[in-house]
Amino acid sequence: MTREPTESTTTGTDEDVREDAASGNGRPNAAEPDFLGMSRQECVEILRLMILSRRFEEKTAEVYQMGKIGGFCHLYIGQEAVAAGAITPLRDDDYVITAYRDHAQALVRGMSPESVMAELYGRVDGCSKGLGGSMHVFGRSLNFMGGHGIVGSHLPLAAGVGYAIRYRDGDQVCLCFFGDSVVNIGSFHESLNMAARWQLPVIFLLENNAYGMGTEITRVAAVDELVHRGRAFAGLHSEAVDGMDVLAVRQATEEAIERARTDKTPSFIEARCYRYMGHSMADPSHGTYRTRDEVEQWRSDDPILQFRQALIDAGRLEEEEYEEMDRKAIEQAEAAADFADQSPLPDPSTMYDTIYSDAYPHDIDRRDAWREELS
């Protein structure tokens, strides 16, 4: 997989596509000397969120192995630059929606590590009251719209959020994360088509971590670069960025936000990144479908270490400051796990409270007396 970034705005003809390809790389190099005009504090905050995501996920892996967390659990380790780069430029009234690899996006958006970890534990203090689990992290007060478990199913939802924004004449945007396997599913094409045709302010952010579960995307996608899939749609801006570089992701997203706010143009950004762990906690990190060497090679380009070094080199970060942030992140992850461990289990009597908004008759489950005796 190449990480060479490319950029184009589709105008819909073959000629334009050829011209785009010929003009090559239009994006400035990743390590912007001025850090995209961000203050030192803003840069350090982004680094802090990346470290928090990493340490949270490491703790998650640890407690999963201890049997504290059940079901499917997909970790984000290695991809931190994408969530941190893309979510931090949003406003509070913008929307975020994502797939099932959703813990880091929630943390970067501002959800507390406690509420996310308690959700993974299936506890009542979880952000979704223990009813959703790892794949269904929701935070309505932050416009964090989940956590969706069916590949590709939330792209139409993102288009719907974009529709609602335009319907109300708002200037918010909807940022939608999804993985590389989505480019082959119908809802991807259907959603990009509607967003482009009706100019819905949605940023479709493809996290290309190279594998859909254990299948390398190039084995199943009949396209040279996934970003080309976006170029089929007139009125959609498409580009690829280095997803291991938080500044590159941030810059592409900032520009996409600006386009979406001002002229409602949707964007499709392919962020080329890598997950160090297996697809989920049930899978090995390497073996049948990729080599240890490949994983190690990507690890050597780690997004956190890369950004840390850039900040140190620019005199924006002290080594001790980094160590302190890291210690703090580890403590936060520990505290989140402790909190989750102590949080009560959901009360079975509340199980029917959030299936319908109104007083729906749920007596069908209560008509058998023997059921009560057994429970």
Partner 1 sequence: MAVKTYREALNEAMREEMDRDESIFIIGEEVGEYDGAYKVTKGLLDEYGEWRVRDAPIAELSFAGLGVGAAMAGLRPIVEFMTWNFALLAFDQVVNSAAKMYQMSGGQYNVPIVFRGPGGGALQLAAQHSQCPDPWYSYVPGLKVVAPATARDAKGLLKSAIRDDDPVVFIEGELMYNSVKDEVPDEEYVIPIGEAEVKREGSDVTIVAHSKMVHQSLQAARKLAEEGIEAEVVDLRTIRPLDIPTVIESVKKTNRAVVVEEGWPVCNVGAQVVDDIQREAFDWLDAPVARVSGLDVPMPYAKNLEKIVFPNAGHVVAAARHVCYAD
For partner 1, the binding residues (CB under 8 A) are 95, 97, 126-132, 136, 138-140, 145-150, 153-168, 186-187, 190-191, 193-194, 197-198, 353-358, 360-361, 367
Q: Residue 73 is which amino acid?
A: C
Cα(95)–Cα(179) distance, integer angstroms: 18
Instruction: Classify each residue of 76-114 as buried b or exposed e, where b means 16 or more C-beta atoms within 10 Å of its C-beta.
Output: bbbbbbbbbbbbbbbeeebbbbbbbbbbbbbbbbebbbb
Judged by beta carbon, residue 35 or residue 204, the one nearer partner 1 is: 204
Judged by beta carbon, residue 41 or residue 349, the one nearer partner 1 is: 349
Cα(279)–Cα(274) distance, integer angstroms: 11
**What three-state secondary structure class fits 352?**
coil
List all residues 6 or more positions away from 287 whose beta carbon is below 8 Å from its beta carbon.
none
Judged by beta carbon, residue 131 or residue 295, the one nearer partner 1 is: 131
Judged by beta carbon, residue 320 or residue 358, the one nearer partner 1 is: 358
Cα-Cα end-to-end distance for the chain: 53
In the complex, least distance from residue 100 CB atom to partner 1, rounded to whole angstroms: 11
The answer to whether the CB of 139 falls within 8 A of the CB of 174 is no
Joined tokens for residue 45: 């905050």
Cα(208)–Cα(205) distance, integer angstroms: 9
The answer to whether the CB of 100 falls within 8 A of the CB of 128 is no
Judged by beta carbon, residue 132 or residue 212, the one nearer partner 1 is: 132
Question: What does each C-alpha distance from 213 to 191, 279, 303 come to in angstroms?
Answer: 23, 5, 22
Joined tokens for residue 97: 């929606």
In the complex, least distance from residue 275 CB atom to partner 1, rounded to whole angstroms: 24
Cα(248)–Cα(242) distance, integer angstroms: 6
Cα(258)–Cα(74) distance, integer angstroms: 31
Judged by beta carbon, residue 95 or residue 307, the one nearer partner 1 is: 95
Judged by beta carbon, residue 19 or residue 93, the one nearer partner 1 is: 93
The answer to whether the CB of 277 falls within 8 A of the CB of 295 is no
Question: What does each C-alpha distance from 70 to 312, 341, 344 come to in angstroms?
Answer: 40, 13, 16
In the complex, least distance from residue 304 CB atom to partner 1, rounded to whole angstroms: 30
The neighbouring-strand residues paired with 174 are 95, 202
Judged by beta carbon, residue 135 or residue 248, the one nearer partner 1 is: 135
Judged by beta carbon, residue 95 or residue 298, the one nearer partner 1 is: 95
In the complex, least distance from residue 144 CB atom to partner 1, rounded to whole angstroms: 9
In the complex, least distance from residue 147 CB atom to partner 1, rounded to whole angstroms: 8
Judged by beta carbon, residue 194 or residue 325, the one nearer partner 1 is: 194
In the complex, least distance from residue 91 CB atom to partner 1, rounded to whole angstroms: 15
Q: Is 375 exposed, middle or buried (0-12, 13-18, 19+ CB in 10 A)?
A: exposed
Least Cα distance to 110 among 92, 128, 123, 125 occurs for 92
